[in-house]
Structure 1
Amino acid sequence: MSSSPVSLPVPAQPYGRPPLRTVQVLGGAGAGSCAHVRSLATGLAARGVRVTVCAPVAAEGEYDFTGAGAQFTPDAVSALRAACAGADVVHAHGLRAGMRAALALRGGGRRVPLVVTWHGGAPEPAGALGRLSRLLERRVARAAAVVLGASSDQVDLARRRGARDARLAAPAVPVATAGEPAAEAGKTRAELGAVERPLVIAVGSLVARRGYALLLDAARAWRVLDPLPLLVIAGEGPLRSELARRIEAEGLPVRLLGRRRDADRLLAAADVAVLPSRWEGRSLLAQEALRAGVALVATEVGGVPELVGDAAVLVPYGDPGALAGAVAGLLHDPDRRAALALAGRAQAATWPSEDETVAQVLSVYDELMERHRP
C-alpha cells in the first residue's frame, strides 16, 4: 500500500570476503509479499548485500525493486535458474515461489541454501486439492534450510510438514506517512460518494478466501441503518463479476474500486476498516489500519489475533450477522472508535521495524553461510 525506504549506512565488507549475494524469489504480485521484498531489498542493499529480485514484470513495475538497489530479473524458468546459480542464499516468498526456487536449485554444482518465508496460506481444502496442497507444503518445508513463518500458526504448520528449522519472523511493512489532513480526507470521501454518510473500507484481492461474499451479506443488513453506510472494496480478482452482479441485483450500498495505488489514502478517510477473510497470516490491511488509527473489524482467524491483540474487534468467520453487528456498533459509537485508534497505534508500536526485520533475515543468511563455509 505504502512505500518507505530503509536508510542505513553501507558497511565495509570483511577483509578478503566478497559481498553476500542473495536472490529474492516472488511467485506472484501479492501486496504483502511484494512490499516485504521491496523493504528487504532496500535494507540488504544498504548493508552491502548484492540483491537480485526474480518476480513477475508487473511486480517490478509497481514496486520498483531496482529503485531499492536490487537487480531485477523476470521470473522465467531460465532466468531463475541463472540467478540462483550465482547466489549464496536463495530466499523464496510463498509456497509457489519456494517450489520454483527448489526446482531451480536442483542439480546445481554448488549447495545453495534455500530460505522460504510463508506469507500466506489457508485452512486445508478438501479432496484432491487438499492432498495436493499438503504435498506442496511438505516438499517446500523439507527443501528449505530455514522456513520463516509470518505468524506462529505458520511456524507450527511448517514443523508439522517436516521443516528442519522453522522460526517466527514477522515481516515488517513500510510505515505510511502521517494521516492526511481532514480537508484531504473530506475530499476523498466526496470522490467516493460518502459525504455525510459512514465509509467502510476493505482492501484485498477478490478471491474466495477474502470472505467478500459474507461481507456483502453484512452490507445487506446495513441497509436499515440511517445514514446508510457506503462500503468500498479496493482490489481486483476473479470474483469481480460475481460480486458486481450481486451488488446490482440486491441493491447493495457497495462500490468495487478495482486495484488502487492509493489504498492508504482511502483508508485514512474511512470510519471503519473490515477484514472478513477465511484465513490471514500477517494481514497488510490490519497493519495499515491500526497504524492509521482506523477502527478495524476482523475475523478471528490465522495470525490475526496475534497481530492485533486487543486493538480490533474480532468476530468468528462465517457469521455475517456478527460481522454486520460489529461494524454497525462501531459506526454508532465514535468513542469506541477513538479508543480503538489509540489502542491500534500502541499495538503497532510493538511490531518489528523494517530495520529489525532486515537484521533478523540477514542474521539467518549469515548463519547459513557459516554452516556451508568450506
Structure 2
Amino acid sequence: MTPARAPMTVVHVIHSLGAGGAESVLVELARTAREAGLRIVVVGLSDAEDDRAAHRLAEAGATVYQLHAGRYDLRAVRRVAAIARREGADVIHTHLKHADLVGGLAARLVGVPAVSTLHVIEADPQGAAHRARVRAAVAARATMFDRVVALSEAQREWYSAFRSSTPVVLVPNGVREPSPSGTGSVRRELGVDDDTVLGVTVSLMRPEKGHAVALDAVRLLPAELPFVLALAGDGPLLDEVRAEVERDPLLRDRVRVLGFRSDVDALLHAADLVVHPSHEDALPTSLISALATSTAVVATRVGGIPDIVGDDAGLLVPVGDPAALADAITALTRDPHRREACGRAGRARYDTTFAATVWVDRLRSLYAQLVTPPTESLHDGPVTSVAVVSAVAPYPSDSGKAMVIAGFLRHLRSRLPAEDIHYLHVGAPLRRTAEFEGVQVHEMGRPSRTDQLVGLVRGVLLRRQSLQEAFLGSPRVAATVQQTLVDLDPDLEIIDTVRMEQHVAGRRFRGRRVLYLDDLFSVRYTRMLEVLRDKRIDTDFDPLGQFSHNVPSRLHWLTRAPLTREALLRFERGRVARSERRAARANPTSVLLNAEEARHLRAETGAAVVAVPPSIPGLDETSHQPDRWDGRPEFAFVGLLSLAHNHDGLGWFLREGMDELLALQPDARLHVIGRDADESLLADAARHGDRVVVHGFVPDLDEALSRMCALVNPLRFGSGIKIKTLDGLARGLPVVSTPVAAEGIATQSRPGLTVVPDAVEAARALAALVDPAVRSREAQGAHALYAERYADPVVAAAYDEVFGTARED
C-alpha cells in the first residue's frame, strides 16, 4: 500500500475568475488535486464580466477568494499575503502578468516559494511598448520566482531565449477524462446522422482562435463530403461568426454555431474530429480532451499544439491556410481507419502525458522540491542518473584534480548507462572529448571579462566571496547550469568545489547532492604564507597556478609582486575558509580526500563531511607495467609545474637536495615529468647538466615510471592527498616525500613511503634505495599500502557509499 503523502496547500493567484483558458485549467486542477494531497486555494484579483470559474472552482473543492481589486493595484499584495498566511500556504502559484506581480511580491512577504505558469507565447511582440512589457515580466519573474512553468517545448524555447535566471520547467497541463454521457443526444440535436462526420471546435471566439479560417476552409470542402462543423464557445466574436454563417447558405448547411456549452464532454465524445485552427496557443486543453476521447485532431502547427498532437494523433497544417485545413479535414473524413488509428495514438499520449493525475503528480513533485530545504533530498531510491558540474578538463589527467574527476567518471561509467551520465563543463569548450565516451558533455559557457569585473564588485565586496569564486561567477552561467540541471533532473548531483557550488547555491533539488571540496584551500594558503614568511627559504612561485587562465592577464602581476602576493593570500585564505564552512553546512554531503581535513571541517561546522580515497584511472593490479628497474640510480619527479606547490617543491630539491644526491650517487639522474616549467625551474635544472632531464608531459606515465628506482615528492606546502604519491605507490614504486606530500596517507615512514623533513634528507633516502635489497623491500611495501587503502575495490566501495551507486544484487 502506498503511504499517504503529507497535504500541501498551494495558493493560486490569477487576474480574475471569468471565462478563459487559464481559469479552466485551475478548475481541472481543483477537481484532481485532492487525490495528490494538494489543497487548492484560488485568489481572483479583479472582477470579470461573469464569475463562472469561481462557482466551478468552489464546486470542485477549492477555497475561493475574490478581491475585486483594480488592475495592478499593489494594495492587493498585502491582501494576498494575508490570505496565504491564514491558509497556511506552502507555495504561491501565479497565472498571467498581473497575478505574477501581485502574487510574486506576496510570496516574498510571506517567505514561501513562488511558481509562475506561462499561458501564452508572445513570440512576436507588437511595438516597443509591448516588447518592453514582455522583458519587464521576464525580469520580474527572475527576481521573485523560484520556477517558471512552461506548458510546451515551444513555449519553453521562446522563454529561455530571454536568458532568465529562473529555471524553466516543462509541466504540460492535463485534463480529467471527459464523461461520455449524452453523446447520442448531442448528434441528434445537431442534426448529424451516423453517416456524417462531425467536427467540433471548442474555444473562445476571439480573433487569434482562427474561426474565420475555419469558415473559409468549410467553403472549400468538396460538396459531396459528409461533414458538419460545430463551433462551441462564446466570446467577443460570437455574434459576428453567427451572422456570417446565417448569411452564407453553404455555411448554414455545414456549420452549427453553439455558443457557450456546459456539455463540452458530450460534444467531444460525439465528435469524429476535433478541429482547432488557432493562430497562437500555448497548450489548448480542448485538444488534450480530444486525446482523452480518442478523437482524431486537425489543428494548426503553432505553439504547443505539436506537443499534444505529435506525429500520430492527427494532422497539423500551417497557420492561416484555409486550403490546407480543408484538405486535412477531407483526408480524415474520407478515411475512417486513419481516424481510428489517430484516436488510439491520441489516447496513448493522453494516458502517459496529459492525464490529469499525471499532470497533478508533476506539479506536486515540483512543489515538494521547492518546499524541501536545500540540504535535504526527496530521492531515497537507487541512483539512475547523475550530473557532474565542474570547471576542470579531466582529460588529459595531468594534474591531481583532473585525475580525481576522471576517477569519478570512471566509477560512474561502471555503474550507469552512458546516456545517464552528464558532465556540465564551465569554461572554454573542451577540446578533447574522445575520452568522454560513456558521458554526455554539456557546455555551460564561461564568465565573460565583464562578468569577472562585476563579480569582483558584487561577489567580493557585497557577498564576501573569495576571489576564485568571484572570477568564476556569472549570472548567465549560473542560469545555464541551473536550467540544465532542471532539464536533466538527475538522481545525483556532484558539484566540484565552492567555485561551482556558487552556481547552484540555494537551488532545491530532488536527488542526492555531493559537494566535492578537493582539499581545503584555506589550509593550502596558510602553508603558502608560512613558506613566504620563512626567511631561510629562497622561493618564488605564482599562487594562481592552473587558475591563472580564469584571471585577466593584466592582473597577474598582483600575485607575483612580493608586497601584494602575501596580502592577497591572507585575504583569500579568510574568504575561502568562510566559503568552505558555508558550503559544508549548506550541502547534504561534502567530500574531501584527506581524512584529517575532513575531521577538521566536520568539527568546525557540524556538517556531514567525509573523506574518500582518490581513484587513479587505469591503475589496478593487472594494468600497470611490470617493474623494469635495472639497478641504475634513476629517479622521477611528477607533477604539473604551473601549480605553485610543485614549482616550489621541485625548485627546492634542485637547489638544496640534488647536489647531495649526486655526492652520494654520482651517476644519479632526476627525470622531471610534467608540463609548464618556467624559466627559473629550467635554469635550476640546467645547473646540473644531463643529471636532470625535463621531459614535459609524458603520455605514457606507466611506461616512464616502470624504469625508475623511486619517486621523490618534496612539497613544502599544499593540502589534500597528493596524487603523485599515490601514482608511485600504485606501481610499486618507492616514494620519498616530505610530511606535506604524505599528508592523508601516512604521518611517518612505513614500507614503501619514506617521510623526510627536508630536501637534503630526501636526497639521502633516494640514494639508499639504490641498494637492490632495500629497494625490493620498499617496493613490496608500496604495493601493500596501495592495495590496503587505494585499490579499485576499496575506492569503488567508498564511492558507492557516498554517491549511492552500489549495484543491487
Provide closer, same or farther for how the CA distance between residues 228 and 133 of structure 1 changes in structure 2, counting only shifts above 3 A: farther
In the alignment, is residue 76 of structure 1 matched against residue 52 of structure 2? no
Q: State the AA in 2 paired with 1:151.
A: S
Provide closer, same or farther for how the CA distance between residues 194 and 44 of structure 1 changes in structure 2, counting only shifts above 3 A: closer
Structure 2 counterpart SS, 1:261: coil
Per the alignment, residue 286 of structure 1 pairs with: 287
Q: How does 1:1-374 map to 2 (within 5 A)?
A: 11=5, 13=6, 20-28=8-16, 29=18, 32-41=21-30, 44-46=33-35, 49-55=38-44, 57-61=51-55, 63=56, 65-77=57-69, 78=76, 79-86=79-86, 87-105=89-107, 108=109, 110-128=110-128, 130-131=130-131, 133-135=133-135, 137-142=137-142, 143-161=144-162, 162-177=164-179, 179=180, 185-195=183-193, 197-222=196-221, 224-226=222-224, 229-251=227-249, 252=251, 253-309=254-310, 310-369=312-371, 370-371=373-374
The question of whether the paired residues in 2 share the 8 Å contact of 1:218 and 1:320 is answered with yes
The question of whether the paired residues in 1 share the 8 Å contact of 2:113 and 2:145 is answered with yes
The question of whether the paired residues in 2 share the 8 Å contact of 1:171 and 1:357 is answered with yes
Offset of residue 353 of structure 1: 3.8
Provide closer, same or farther for how the CA distance between residues 256 and 167 of structure 1 changes in structure 2, counting only shifts above 3 A: same
Structure 1 counterpart SS, 2:282: coil
Offset of residue 50 of structure 1: 4.4
Per the alignment, residue 432 of structure 2 pairs with: none
Q: Alpha-carbon deviations, 1:134-186, whole Å to 9, x = none?
A: 24542453232110111112222332332411111112211224x45xxx544
Q: Distance in 2 between matches of 1:323 and 1:257?
A: 21
Offset of residue 260 of structure 1: 0.8
Q: Distance in 2 between matches of 1:103 and 1:76?
A: 18
Q: State the AA in 2 paired with 1:92.
A: T
Q: Alpha-carbon deviations, 1:58-114, whole Å to 9, x = none?
A: 2121x2x334443211143445343245433210123443233235457x3x43322
Greater relative CO, 1 or 2 (CA 8 Å, sep 6+): 1
Q: Distance in 2 between matches of 1:40 and 1:279?
A: 23
Query: What's the % identity of the aligned pairs?
Result: 33
Q: Distance in 2 between matches of 1:329 and 1:172?
A: 29
The question of whether the paired residues in 2 share the 8 Å contact of 1:147 and 1:163 is answered with no
* TM-score normalized with structure 2 length: 0.40
Provide closer, same or farther for how the CA distance between residues 361 and 212 of structure 1 changes in structure 2, counting only shifts above 3 A: same
Moved more, 147-156 or 123-132: 123-132
Provide closer, same or farther for how the CA distance between residues 140 and 39 of structure 1 changes in structure 2, counting only shifts above 3 A: farther
Structure 2 counterpart SS, 1:349: helix
* TM-score normalized with structure 1 length: 0.83
Offset of residue 347 of structure 1: 2.4
Offset of residue 319 of structure 1: 0.8
Q: Distance in 1 between matches of 2:270 and 2:39?
A: 39
Q: Distance in 2 between matches of 1:248 and 1:133?
A: 40
Provide closer, same or farther for how the CA distance between residues 367 and 258 of structure 1 changes in structure 2, counting only shifts above 3 A: same
Provide closer, same or farther for how the CA distance between residues 30 and 99 of structure 1 changes in structure 2, counting only shifts above 3 A: farther
Offset of residue 205 of structure 1: 0.4
Q: State the AA in 2 paired with 1:304.
A: I
Offset of residue 132 of structure 1: 5.0
Q: Distance in 2 between matches of 1:54 and 1:168?
A: 24
Structure 1 counterpart SS, 2:353: coil
Offset of residue 120 of structure 1: 2.9
Q: Alpha-carbon deviations, 1:24-49, whole Å to 9, x = none?
A: 12334456434443444455545555
Q: Distance in 2 between matches of 1:92 and 1:141?
A: 10
Q: Alpha-carbon deviations, 1:177-211, whole Å to 9, x = none?
A: 4x45xxx5443212012235432210000011111
Offset of residue 313 of structure 1: 0.5
Structure 2 counterpart SS, 1:290: helix
Q: Distance in 2 between matches of 1:217 and 1:136?
A: 38
The question of whether the paired residues in 1 share the 8 Å contact of 2:36 and 2:360 is answered with no
Structure 1 counterpart SS, 2:13: strand
Provide closer, same or farther for how the CA distance between residues 358 and 266 of structure 1 changes in structure 2, counting only shifts above 3 A: closer
Q: How many residue pairs are counted as aligned between the two chains?
A: 352
The question of whether the paired residues in 2 share the 8 Å contact of 1:137 and 1:158 is answered with no
Structure 1 counterpart SS, 2:352: coil
Structure 2 counterpart SS, 1:236: coil
Per the alignment, residue 452 of structure 2 pairs with: none
Unaligned 5+ segments in structure 2 are 70-75, 375-505, 509-585, 587-809
Offset of residue 318 of structure 1: 1.3
Moved more, 242-251 or 43-52: 43-52
Q: Distance in 2 between matches of 1:248 and 1:139?
A: 48
Moved more, 292-301 or 75-84: 75-84
Q: Distance in 1 between matches of 2:339 and 2:359?
A: 30
Q: Distance in 2 between matches of 1:170 and 1:92?
A: 16
Offset of residue 212 of structure 1: 0.9
Structure 2 counterpart SS, 1:233: strand
Provide closer, same or farther for how the CA distance between residues 260 and 54 of structure 1 changes in structure 2, counting only shifts above 3 A: same
Q: Alpha-carbon deviations, 1:261-287, whole Å to 9, x = none?
A: 111211222222101011222221211
Structure 1 counterpart SS, 2:324: helix
Structure 1 counterpart SS, 2:281: coil
Q: Distance in 1 between matches of 2:217 and 2:31?
A: 41
The question of whether the paired residues in 1 share the 8 Å contact of 2:174 and 2:285 is answered with no
Q: Distance in 2 between matches of 1:82 and 1:70?
A: 18
Per the alignment, residue 5 of structure 1 pairs with: none
Q: Distance in 2 between matches of 1:140 and 1:82?
A: 21
Offset of residue 351 of structure 1: 1.0
Q: Distance in 2 between matches of 1:160 and 1:368?
A: 24
Q: State the AA in 1 paired with 2:201.
A: A
Q: Distance in 1 between matches of 2:166 and 2:280?
A: 25
Q: State the AA in 2 paired with 1:284.
A: T
Per the alignment, residue 16 of structure 1 pairs with: none
Q: Distance in 2 between matches of 1:343 and 1:359?
A: 23
Q: State the AA in 1 paired with 2:363.
A: V
Offset of residue 133 of structure 1: 4.7
The question of whether the paired residues in 1 share the 8 Å contact of 2:38 and 2:364 is answered with no
Provide closer, same or farther for how the CA distance between residues 75 and 320 of structure 1 changes in structure 2, counting only shifts above 3 A: farther
Structure 1 counterpart SS, 2:256: strand
Larger radius of gyration: 2
Q: Distance in 2 between matches of 1:287 and 1:20?
A: 27
Q: Distance in 2 between matches of 1:339 and 1:42?
A: 30
Structure 2 counterpart SS, 1:350: helix
Structure 2 counterpart SS, 1:366: helix
Unaligned 5+ segments in structure 1 are 1-7, 14-18
Offset of residue 121 of structure 1: 3.1
Provide closer, same or farther for how the CA distance between residues 54 and 323 of structure 1 changes in structure 2, counting only shifts above 3 A: same
Provide closer, same or farther for how the CA distance between residues 49 and 348 of structure 1 changes in structure 2, counting only shifts above 3 A: closer
Provide closer, same or farther for how the CA distance between residues 308 and 360 of structure 1 changes in structure 2, counting only shifts above 3 A: same
Structure 2 counterpart SS, 1:330: helix
Q: Distance in 1 between matches of 2:196 and 2:355?
A: 36
Q: State the AA in 1 paired with 2:360.
A: V
The question of whether the paired residues in 1 share the 8 Å contact of 2:22 and 2:95 is answered with yes
Per the alignment, residue 3 of structure 1 pairs with: none
Provide closer, same or farther for how the CA distance between residues 100 and 207 of structure 1 changes in structure 2, counting only shifts above 3 A: farther
Provide closer, same or farther for how the CA distance between residues 340 and 43 of structure 1 changes in structure 2, counting only shifts above 3 A: closer
Q: Distance in 2 between matches of 1:297 and 1:349?
A: 20
The question of whether the paired residues in 2 share the 8 Å contact of 1:52 and 1:83 is answered with no
